[in-house]
Amino acid sequence: MTESERVAVIGVGIVGACVGWNLVRLGAEVVFIDAGQPGAGVTNWSFSWVNASNKTVSRSYFDLNVAGMAAHRALARDIGADSWWHPSGHLRWADPAAQAKVLQSVEVLAAWGYRVEVHTGAEVRRRLEPALAVPDSAPVVFYPDEAWVHGRHLVARLTSEAVGRGAEHRFDTAVCDISTRTNGSIRSVALTDGSRLDVDAVVNAAGPDARHVAVLVARQLPMRREPGVLTRVDCAPVPVHRALHAPDIEIRPDTDASVVLHSRDTDALIDSDADPAELARQLHASARRAVPALGTARIAQTRVVNRPIPADGFPSVGAWPSVPGYYEAVSHSGITLGPVIGRLLATEILSGERDAMLADFRPQRFAS
């Protein structure tokens, strides 16, 4: 492709916004398309933790996430940090039964050159988080290079900058058809508002709906069904300063007057009879045990969303050769990986240059 050709980015969460912003920076014409509003879906209902410490299942995946962290820092320098970027580090401690596993992970990370520190609970309360209810002698792991992101603010910033440079957008309308030329390459996309847009390429960044977009080009993209629940609680002042993992609960600041709560243990109850309000109460109860000051917080919003996870748990990023001009950018951990996926995929679309960092995460592994 050349820079003057037109690319439709389908799905404007964190990954789609990063791909589109990078394409515009490189001179491409971009049309952002989203069935809702930018950043309002999974991106807005994610724990939004920028990390590689939880990504040690394979070295290539770990390295990609480390690159994602570096890409966030570069992005903050490029566009300014303002309200979206919070590089305050991350804390983790576990109950006694799980401590050995956490400390074993610390050894792996240190051997791979990842910055990690171990402190006592008393030291952490004195130096970092006075409000925590962590035993004095408990080992608490601190990852100083990790961060959290306000995803919707970042998406708004990237799309606004891209539109300011000439990108178009079609929000609150979905793609219902993708047509191809006689040679099989992308020709146009049709939208549910009745319009049709001529394009030379499409990027499927539709998150949990990516499978449905892939079907429009006769591509079978296997996706997991893995719902998660996230709760926002109102509190002022906010009693924690960084993202943290305590036993049974994940907590991070969200605004100057709210905190986000999540737990994989609570996610496991989603398919039971528990309603979202009850799940939120359980999250709040766990949060109070870790941070007693959250006892007076008020549950404000709760949402259950499907995570965008390909079947094997790893990203699907790059071209699908059977349909020239069709690309995928589908990934769990999109908050961490969005900036690096955006940079690498935009370069690939416009130059054909395939980065070795994505070798294990190509769509072709699902060819069968």
The answer to whether residue 298 sits within a structural domain is: yes
> Same structural domain for residues 256 and 295?
yes
Dihedral sign from CA coordinates of 170, 316, 42, 334: negative
How many distinct structural domains can be found in the chain?
3
For residues 52 and 333, what is the distance between their CA atoms, to the nearest angstrom? 10
Domain boundary at 100, 126, 144, which? 144
Looking at residue 83, the DSSP 8-state letter turns out to be: T
For residues 124 and 121, what is the distance between their CA atoms, to the nearest angstrom? 5
pLDDT, tens digit (0-9, with 9 covering 90-100), for 309-361: 999 999 999 999 999 999 999 999 999 999 999 999 999 999 999 999 999 99
Look at residue 273 in the predicted model and tell me its pLDDT.
Answer: 74
- Chain position carrying tokens 């007693």: 292
User: What letter represents residue 274's amino acid?
Assistant: A
Helix, strand, coil shares of the chain, percent, nearest 5, are 35, 25, 35
Look at residue 211 in the predicted model and tell me its pLDDT.
Answer: 97
Cβ-count burial of 255 within 10 angstroms (0-12 exposed, 13-18 middle, 19+ buried)? middle
Tokens of 170: 């079609």
For residues 129 and 115, what is the distance between their CA atoms, to the nearest angstrom? 19
Question: How many CB atoms are closer than 10 A to CB 246?
Answer: 22
Tokens of 134: 């962590």
Residue 32: helix, strand or coil by DSSP?
strand
The answer to whether residue 245 sits within a structural domain is: yes
> Same structural domain for residues 29 and 128?
no
**For residues 262 and 283, is the Cβ–Cβ distance under 8 A?**
yes
pLDDT, tens digit (0-9, with 9 covering 90-100), for 143-170: 999 999 999 999 999 999 999 999 999 9
User: Nearest to residue 165, comparing CAs of 39, 37, 23, 40?
Assistant: 23
pLDDT, tens digit (0-9, with 9 covering 90-100), for 47-94: 999 999 999 999 999 999 999 999 999 999 999 999 999 999 999 999
Question: How many CB atoms are closer than 10 A to CB 137?
Answer: 8
Residues 6+ apart with CB under 8 A from 12: 20, 32, 33, 34, 38, 39, 155, 159, 169, 171, 205
**For residues 206 and 10, is the Cβ–Cβ distance under 8 A?**
yes
> Same structural domain for residues 324 and 294?
no
**For residues 229 and 299, is the Cβ–Cβ distance under 8 A?**
no
What CATH number corresponds to the domain at position 189?
3.50.50.60
> Same structural domain for residues 321 and 355?
yes
Domain boundary at 306, 323, 338, which? 306
Q: How confident is the model at residue 210 (pLDDT cuts 50, 70, 90)?
A: very high
Which residue segment(s) compose the domain that 123 sits in? Answer: 90-144
Average pLDDT value for the chain = 96
For residues 188 and 184, what is the distance between their CA atoms, to the nearest angstrom? 12
- What does each C-alpha distance from 267 to 222, 243, 322 come to in angstroms? 21, 19, 37
> Same structural domain for residues 218 and 355?
yes
Q: Can you list the alpha helix ranges (DSSP code H) found in 248-324?
A: 264-267, 276-290
> Same structural domain for residues 167 and 301?
no
User: Nearest to residue 198, comparing CAs of 293, 365, 325, 79?
Assistant: 325
Looking at residue 197, the DSSP 8-state letter turns out to be: E
For residues 27 and 58, what is the distance between their CA atoms, to the nearest angstrom? 35
> Same structural domain for residues 132 and 269?
no
The answer to whether residue 81 sits within a structural domain is: no
The answer to whether residue 77 sits within a structural domain is: no
**For residues 150 and 83, is the Cβ–Cβ distance under 8 A?**
yes
pLDDT, tens digit (0-9, with 9 covering 90-100), for 222-260: 999 999 999 999 999 999 999 999 999 999 999 999 999
Q: Distance from first CA to last CA of the chain, Å, rounded?
A: 28
For residues 30 and 68, what is the distance between their CA atoms, to the nearest angstrom? 23
Tokens of 247: 């036993």
Look at residue 367 in the predicted model and tell me its pLDDT.
Answer: 83
